[in-house]
């Protein structure tokens, strides 16, 4: 009888160990599959640019966005109002932006289907001190030429990631 109970315990233990190993292997295979799909889609999108060495024209994804935010964190003083111009709705980017740029007050301005005057009005209504432009679209070209109180502070890359300081004219 004792030997039969011992066999049941050994079999149960072996079953649990084998089940755990199978679960770990299945999980690893699933993760590998996701990585392969990500790499293949990135290669389809940017492979030609990578081979040519035009890395500035490629997108490194969300990780690169974190580097951009850390760069903004170094350039913009704390406790200032910061507006970020986004071309469309941003559900996953805003929380990350607010977290990295804390203690700044982060305001998002959706630029899609807005004129420059509407964007500028939203900037002044929110008393924005610094303006972050991810990528200037057609309606955002030459922002500093249209509004004289915007001064370009720095740029992350040649064509993306601009920081402007908004200088308000104080009337005596």
Q: Does domain 62-166 have CATH number 3.40.190?
A: yes
The DSSP annotation for 119-172 comes to HHHHHHHTT-SEEEESS--GGGTTHHHH-TTEEEEEESSSSS-EEEEE-PPPP-
Q: Are strands 162-166 and 130-133 parallel, antiparallel or unpaired?
A: antiparallel
Average pLDDT over every residue of 75-97: 83
Q: What is the DSSP letter of 56?
A: G
Select the more confidently predicted residue: 56 or 102.
102
Residue 33 above 70 pLDDT?
yes
What is the total residue count of the chain? 172
Residue 77 above 90 pLDDT?
yes
**Helices 93-100 and 62-75, axial angle in degrees (round to 10):** 30
169: CB partners within 8 A, 6+ apart:
149
Average pLDDT over every residue of 58-73: 74
For 142: left if phi > 0, alpha if psi spans -120 to 50, otherwise beta; the answer is left
Question: What's the pLDDT score for residue 1?
Answer: 53
Lowest mean pLDDT among 5-9, 43-47, 124-128, 137-141: 137-141
Q: Which tens digit of pLDDT belongs to each residue from 114-172?
A: 888 888 888 889 999 999 988 765 556 666 666 778 888 998 877 778 898 998 766 55
């Amino acid at each position: 009888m004792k030997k039969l109970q011992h066999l049941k315990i050994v079999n149960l233990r072996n079953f649990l160990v084998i089940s755990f190993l199978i679960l770990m292997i299945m999980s690893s295979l699933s993760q590998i599959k996701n990585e392969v799909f990500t790499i293949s889609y990135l290669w389809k999108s940017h492979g030609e640019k990578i081979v040519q060495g035009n890395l500035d024209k490629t997108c490194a994804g969300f990780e690169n966005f974190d580097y951009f935010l850390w760069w903004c964190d170094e350039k913009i003083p704390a406790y200032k109002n910061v507006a970020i111009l986004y071309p469309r709705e941003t559900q996953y980017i805003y929380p990350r932006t607010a977290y990295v740029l804390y203690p700044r007050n982060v305001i998002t301005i959706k630029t899609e289907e807005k004129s420059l005057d509407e964007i500028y009005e939203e900037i002044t209504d929110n008393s924005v001190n610094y303006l972050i432009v991810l990528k200037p679209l057609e309606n955002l070209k030459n922002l500093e030429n249209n509004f004289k109180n915007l001064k370009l502070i720095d740029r992350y890359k040649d064509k993306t990631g601009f920081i402007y300081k908004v200088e308000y004219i104080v009337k005596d």
